[in-house]
Amino acid sequence: MYDILIIGAGPAGISIAVEAVHSQIGTDKILLIEKAEEHSYAIKKYYPDKKLVTANYKGFEAKCTGVMCIPDLTKQETISYLDKAIKENNLNVKYSETVWKFHQNEDKTFVVYTDKSQYEARIVAIAIGILGKPNKPEYIIPSALKNSVFFEVTSTQIIDSNVLVVGGGDTASEYCQYLVQNNNEVTLSYRKKDFTRMNDINRISILALEQENKVKIFYESDIVSLENRDGKPLVKFKQEKYPDMLFDRIVYSLGGTTPSNFLKMIGIEFDGEEPIMKEHHETSVPGLFLLGDLSAGKKGGSIIWAFNSARKAITKIRKDYIIS
Ligand SMILES: Cc1cc2nc3c(=O)[nH]c(=O)nc-3n(C[C@H](O)[C@H](O)[C@H](O)COP(=O)(O)OP(=O)(O)OC[C@H]3O[C@@H](n4cnc5c(N)ncnc54)[C@H](O)[C@@H]3O)c2cc1C
């Protein structure tokens, strides 16, 4: 049982771990899970190499309230500062591991599921930033189909429809389960013949739905094109065993996701476009916090905002939650 499990090792995730260490929580009680091979992936990927990293980015005040703080720096200096924070505080980071979902037990502790394992924690801090985006197929999606093609299932309510889900990972299985619950006729198109990428729970669930004739699975199927038929997608497959088929909707689950979709899938309440947050960046789920860019509104925050959001959250955690 970890005291704090942190999803995402960027400025916000690293700084809440550092704040936790500085408030006497043992490093063995803090776990960071990062989906990339290295920390601060968004900074490494999106910042141009010669960029000046400004402390008052987008007009956010450059005033630090917690342990971590930066002045204006180069990209490399910023990364080195975050590197040093991980090393000097002996932070335990699991890299190349993606959190898919979690749930809260009756005793208010959390179980967090990743593509590799599962963990228990008293507090969960989500610090995944706002830069994720879903992968798209290689063929063209006609613009006339924009209202019937989706890359997640939360932005529009899909009910009583004939839906094709494309993919073969955990999210594809979860989308099928969710769509069946909403009274849809569901078909899953998957390129391979076995579900090797799914965890046990999702594989068992999708196979059970197939057994109950609630989901049709097109194994070893490759879509070659989509055509518009009065606003509905006509799907053409490479394999002759699958004839051209008309669906009401298509949902692609080809990896990658938007952060708001991730939050909705795990059950965080939204008010319109924004997740509901109480004081100190706590969500409507007790013990579950949103930090960094996720806590800064639609356009995101800054590095110092991320550091300060961690400080706010740890103050609440120390005050209201009993931590060993
Ligand atoms: C081009 C650009 C320039 C910018 N310039 C500046 C600047 O000069 N100064 C400044 O202060 N700010 C700047 N910003 C903003 C700043 O980078 C962000 O505010 C800051 O990085 C937010 O930190 P974060 O920890 O919330 O999110 P991120 O930095 O986005 O980190 C999120 C981490 O979570 C990981 N993750 C995502 N999903 C999962 C999952 N499911 N499971 C596990 N891990 C996951 C990601 O791989 C990533 O490492 C800039 C942003 C951009 C895009």
8 A C-beta contact, residue 314 and residue 16: yes
What's the rounded mean pLDDT across residues 320-324?
72
Residue owning the nearest CA to atom 4 of ligand 1:
47
Q: How far is the CA of 306 from the centre of ligand 1 (A)?
A: 9
* Residue 70: closest CA among 83, 90, 55: 55
Q: How far apart are CA 265 and CA 285, in angstroms?
A: 14
The DSSP code for 141 is: -
pLDDT band at 323, cuts 50/70/90? low
Q: Specify whether the backbone of 58 is left (phi greater than 0), alpha (psi in -120 to 50) or beta.
A: left
Residue owning the nearest CA to atom 20 of ligand 1:
303
Percent of the chain whose pLDDT exceeds 90: 70
* pTM for this prediction: 0.76
What are the domain boundaries of the chain?
2-132+258-320, 143-252
Closest atom of ligand 1 to CA, residue 60: 11
> Residues near ligand 1 with C-beta < 6 Å?
7-13, 33-36, 40-43, 46-47, 53-54, 57, 98-99, 127-129, 131-132, 292-293, 300-304, 306
197-200: which pairs have CB atoms within 8 A and are 24 or more residues apart?
197/168, 197/169, 197/170, 198/168, 198/169, 198/170, 198/173, 199/100, 199/113, 199/115, 199/170
pLDDT of residue 247: 98
pLDDT in tens, 101-149: 888 999 999 999 988 899 999 999 999 998 776 778 989 999 999 999 9
b/e 132-143 (16+ beta carbons within 10 angstroms → b) = eebeeeeeebee
Residue owning the nearest CA to atom 35 of ligand 1:
8
Quick check: do 2-132+258-320 and 143-252 share a fold?
Answer: yes
* Residue 70: closest CA among 132, 18, 22: 18
pLDDT of residue 22: 96
Assess whether pLDDT exceeds 60 at residue 324.
Answer: no
Residue owning the nearest CA to atom 45 of ligand 1:
8
Q: How far apart are CA 281 and CA 40, in angstroms?
A: 21
Assess whether pLDDT exceeds 60 at residue 304.
Answer: yes
What's the rounded mean pLDDT across residues 10-27?
97
Task: Share the mean pLDDT of the chain.
Answer: 91
pLDDT band at 228, cuts 50/70/90? very high
Q: How far is the CA of 178 from the centre of ligand 1 (A)?
A: 30
Per-residue three-class SS string for 2-24 = EEEEEECCCHHHHHHHHHHHHCC
Query: Which has more confidence, 296 or 83?
Result: 83
Q: How far is the CA of 33 from the centre of ligand 1 (A)?
A: 15
Assess whether pLDDT exceeds 90 at residue 274.
Answer: no
Q: How far is the CA of 193 from the centre of ligand 1 (A)?
A: 37
Q: What is the three-class DSSP state of 44?
A: helix
What's the rounded mean pLDDT across residues 162-166?
98
Q: How far apart are CA 70 and CA 257, in angstroms?
A: 30
pLDDT in tens, 40-88: 998 988 887 778 898 988 778 899 999 999 999 999 999 999 999 999 9
- Secondary structure element (H or E) that encloses residue 311, with its range: helix 303-320
pLDDT in tens, 89-112: 999 999 999 887 888 999 999 999
Beta bridge pairs of residue 126: 7, 290
Residue owning the nearest CA to atom 13 of ligand 1:
302
Residue owning the nearest CA to atom 19 of ligand 1:
302
Q: How far is the CA of 127 from the centre of ligand 1 (A)?
A: 9
Please name the CATH architecture into which domain 143-252 falls.
3-Layer(bba) Sandwich (3.50)
Closest atom of ligand 1 to CA, residue 262: 41
According to CATH, the topology of domain 2-132+258-320 is FAD/NAD(P)-binding domain (3.50.50)
